[in-house]
């Protein structure tokens, strides 16, 4: 692992200049609320670069994400809250504290024991911050996460303290059960009931993804990307044939879809 270089210090200095008296008008007028959306956007662009295995793009997107950390730290520094060094010191301390099997005398051995101890330490940390007993191992999952990620994080936390299916097959059975219940809800034309059963089905599918070691959010993003690529190919084939894609029959669109799919598989 390479050590940090003066380039990081330069990034901090550039950010301070941009926010300074003679800095950039746009950067100077920003605050945490106006730029917080960029954090999510940049994080997803990092994920997209990883999925595409585009390392040049990944390098650039990680830099953009790092900029957001430095930007928010600069804003906090200007309000006398903390600075980037405090951020780094905090994560260093957290990593050491949460790895007692590496940096202390804790003899925790297996992966399962390590993860369970990690959750216990996090719970202790939250209790110390609040100066009160924390009542749930599920505390600490950000509610601002996308729904699939939020569900998977909840399930992961529950599993780390022993509340989990013992194999994948019962989860698949549960999915089939939820599909059956959804069918019945659809027959009843009761939208609140349909929404509930659809949510239960999605939650179970996410649970299966977790059991299989797959990130549900990334899996759906990948499938969406495949759909986008094939749909664009359909439109291109339609244009090449001189057709108005929107006016094609469903059968004609399905034929184009199959051609686009074969193009992907070739």
Q: 200 and 255 share a domain?
A: no
Tell me: do 11 and 92 sit in the same domain. Answer: yes
- Say what the pLDDT of residue 110 is: 81
- Spatial distance between the Cα atoms of 159 and 64, rounded to a whole number of angstroms: 34
Q: 131: which DSSP letter?
A: T
pLDDT score at 2? 55
CATH number at residue 91: 1.10.287.1080
- Provide the pLDDT for residue 150: 95
Let me know whether 26 and 75 are in one domain: yes
CA distance 184 to 178: 10
- Residue 130 pLDDT more than 70? no
Pairwise CA distance, residues 154 & 137, whole Å = 9
Number of compact structural domains in the chain:
3
Same domain, 199 and 257: no
Q: What is the average per-residue pLDDT within 235-254?
A: 96
The reported pLDDT for the residue numbered 51 is 85
Contact status, residue 122 vs residue 98, Cβ threshold 8 Å = yes
Residue 138: exposure state from Cβ atoms within 10 A (0-12, 13-18, ≥19): middle
Mean pLDDT is lowest, of 105-114, 155-164, 201-210, 222-231, for 105-114
Q: Are residues 225 and 166 in the same domain?
A: no
From CA 22, how far away is CA 20, in angstroms rounded?
Answer: 6
Query: Do 173 and 235 sit in the same domain of this protein?
Result: no
Choose the final residue of a domain: 73, 97, 121.
97
* pLDDT at residue 63 in the model: 97
Least confident among 27-36, 136-145, 170-179:
136-145
Of residues 40, 61, 39, the one with CA closest to residue 50: 61
pLDDT for 157 equals 92
Q: What percent of the chain stands above pLDDT 70?
A: 95
In a domain, 147, yes or no: no
Closest listed residue to residue 70, CA positions, set 15, 122, 24, 141? 15
pTM greater than 0.85: no
4 versus 19: which is more confidently predicted? 19
Look at residue 143 and tell me if it is in a domain. Answer: no
* Residue bearing tokens 């992907």: 264
87 HSE (CA, 13 A, CB side)? 16
Which residues form the domain of 259? Answer: 217-265
Average pLDDT over every residue of 65-92: 97
Domain match, 199 and 223 both: no
In this prediction, residues 47-61 reach a mean pLDDT of 93
Task: Confirm whether 71 is domain-assigned.
Answer: yes
Residue-by-residue DSSP string for 59-101: HHHHHHHHHHHHHHHHHHHHTTS--HHHHHHHHHHHHHHT-HH
pLDDT at 131 over 80: no
Residue 91 lies in a domain: yes
Same domain, 59 and 76: yes
Q: Are residues 87 and 12 in the same domain?
A: yes
Q: What is the mean pLDDT of the chain?
A: 91
> Does 169 reside within a domain?
yes
Residue 210's φ and ψ, nearest 5 degrees, are -60, -45
The pLDDT value given to residue 266: 59
CB 59 within 8 A of CB 37: no
């Amino acid at each position: 692992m390479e050590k940090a270089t003066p380039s990081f210090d330069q990034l901090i200095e550039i950010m301070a200049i941009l926010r300074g008296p003679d800095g950039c008008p746009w950067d100077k007028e920003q605050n945490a609320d106006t730029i917080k959306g960029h954090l999510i956007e940049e994080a997803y662009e990092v994920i997209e670069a990883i999925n595409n295995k585009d390392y040049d793009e990944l390098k650039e997107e990680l830099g953009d994400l790092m900029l957001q950390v430095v930007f928010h730290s600069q804003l906090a520094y200007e309000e006398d809250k903390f600075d980037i060094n405090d951020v780094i010191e905090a994560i260093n301390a957290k990593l050491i504290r949460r790895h007692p099997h590496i940096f202390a005398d804790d003899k925790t051995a297996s992966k399962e024991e390590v993860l369970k101890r990690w959750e216990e330490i996090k719970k202790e940390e939250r209790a110390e911050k609040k100066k009160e007993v924390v009542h749930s191992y599920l505390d600490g999952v950000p509610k601002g996460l996308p729904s699939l990620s939020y569900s998977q994080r909840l399930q992961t936390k529950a599993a780390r303290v022993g509340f989990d299916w013992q194999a994948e097959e019962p989860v698949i059975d549960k999915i089939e059960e939820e599909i059956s219940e959804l069918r019945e809800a659809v027959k009843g034309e009761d939208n609140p009931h349909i929404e509930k059963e659809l949510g239960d089905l999605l939650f179970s599918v996410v649970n299966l993804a977790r059991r299989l070691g797959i990130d549900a959010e990334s899996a759906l993003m990948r499938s969406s990307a495949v759909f986008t690529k094939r749909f664009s190919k359909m439109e291109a084939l339609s244009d090449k044939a001189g057709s108005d894609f929107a006016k094609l029959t469903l059968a004609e669109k399905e034929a184009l879809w199959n051609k686009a799919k074969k193009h992907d598989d070739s």
